[in-house]
Amino acid sequence: MSTPEHGFFTDVTLCIGCKACEVACKQWNQLPADGYALSGNSYDNTNGLSATTWRHVAFVEQMDRVEPSASRWMMMSDVCKHCTNAGCLEACPTGAIIRNEFNDVFVQPDVCNGCGYCVPSCPFGVVAIQPQSGIAQKCTLCYDRQKDGLEPACAKSCPTESITFGPIEELRALAEARVAKLQAEGREAHLYGVDGPETRDVGALNAFFLIPDRPEVFNLPPNPVLPSKFQRAAYTSGLLGALALGAVGLAVFRPKPGSA
């Protein structure tokens, strides 16, 4: 059975920062609470994605003191990007991280052994080890709901359709149209994760964004790396070193003429 690729399109210009997605995600996936600490960073007390927070709403307040009317208040609901070339998936030594039939990156909880190598291998800082279970956890793109033909909890709960779920091709068409409309109105808008420089290593993202500013403003890396590309240089360095020291050892221990 072939299912079309499904993913998220998150439109920052429509987000009102209600955090319904955060709550719906926590409820549906039965994720534990993270405490009540206040960060002091606008209304963002979640701070970022974690093993127990799979949707995170960022609050960006840009104050223009010279022209107060040009000030902006932007919210963005962040989520696992479900990369085409996923660093976590490549790094996983158990095969726990797979690409499921909806082409989403999924951690099989019964196979993961908690080695934690996916954590530093994710170029977006998404996947993390949950201390209670000791295994890696992140957004499943509501795999269980998708199997029953339902949209993920966050998209279902979004009151402004800032988060839309559907077949990737349809979402891209929707996003292109939205960008064209915003740009026609003279507003800054571009897509993150479709074909920009950020997709150089990780490929197109199954969860992509419409952002009205530079990616780093929303803590999205402008240049995310795919860690496996560093392997060739690293193996070369290590094996050359081993070869050189092996040669030194051979020379040092070689039988001396007349000594034995």
Partner 1 sequence: MDATEKHGAQYAAGGAYGPDAVATSMQRGDGGFGRDQQTYYDHPVLQKPHWKWEIVTYFFVGGIAAASSALAALAAAGGDPDDALLVRNARYSALAGALVSGALLVKDLGRPDRFLNMLRIVKLKSPMSVGVYVLSLFSMNAGLRALEQLRADGHVPFAVPGWIAKPLRVSTGAPSTALMACYTGVLVSATAIPVWFTGRRHIPAIFVCSAASTGAALQNGLLALTGGSARTSKKLAVIELIASSAEAILLLHWRLSVGESAKPLFRGTRGRRLERFTLVGGLALPALLLLPSVVSRRPRHDPALGLIAAAAALFGGYVLRESVVYAGRDSASDARAYLRHPE
Closest approach of partner 1 to the CB of residue 221, in Å:
6
Q: Which is nearer to partner 1, 35 or 40 (CB)?
A: 40
Q: Per CB under 8 A, does 224 bind partner 1?
A: yes
Closest approach of partner 1 to the CB of residue 233, in Å:
5
Tell me whether residue 248 is exposed, middle or buried, using C-beta atoms within 10 angstroms of its C-beta: 0 to 12, 13 to 18, 19 or more: exposed
Q: Per CB under 8 A, does 169 bind partner 1?
A: no
Q: Per CB under 8 A, does 79 bind partner 1?
A: no
Q: Under rule CB under 8 A, how many of the chain's residues touch partner 1?
A: 82
Site for partner 1 in 121-160 (CB under 8 A): 121-129, 134
The whole-angstrom separation of Cα 104 and Cα 3 is 11
Stretch that binds partner 1, among 7-15, 99-107, 173-181, 244-252 (CB under 8 A): 244-252
Q: Which is nearer to partner 1, 75 or 168 (CB)?
A: 75
Stretch that binds partner 1, among 157-165, 171-179, 187-195, 250-258 (CB under 8 A): 250-258
Among 32, 114, 159, 197, binds partner 1 (CB under 8 A): 114
Stretch that binds partner 1, among 16-24, 156-164, 166-174, 236-244 (CB under 8 A): 236-244
Among 32, 48, 109, 159, binds partner 1 (CB under 8 A): 48
The Cα diameter of the chain in Å comes to 92
The whole-angstrom separation of Cα 178 and Cα 186 is 13
Site for partner 1 in 10-29 (CB under 8 A): none
Sign of CA dihedral 124, 125, 126, 129: positive
Q: Per CB under 8 A, does 61 bind partner 1?
A: yes
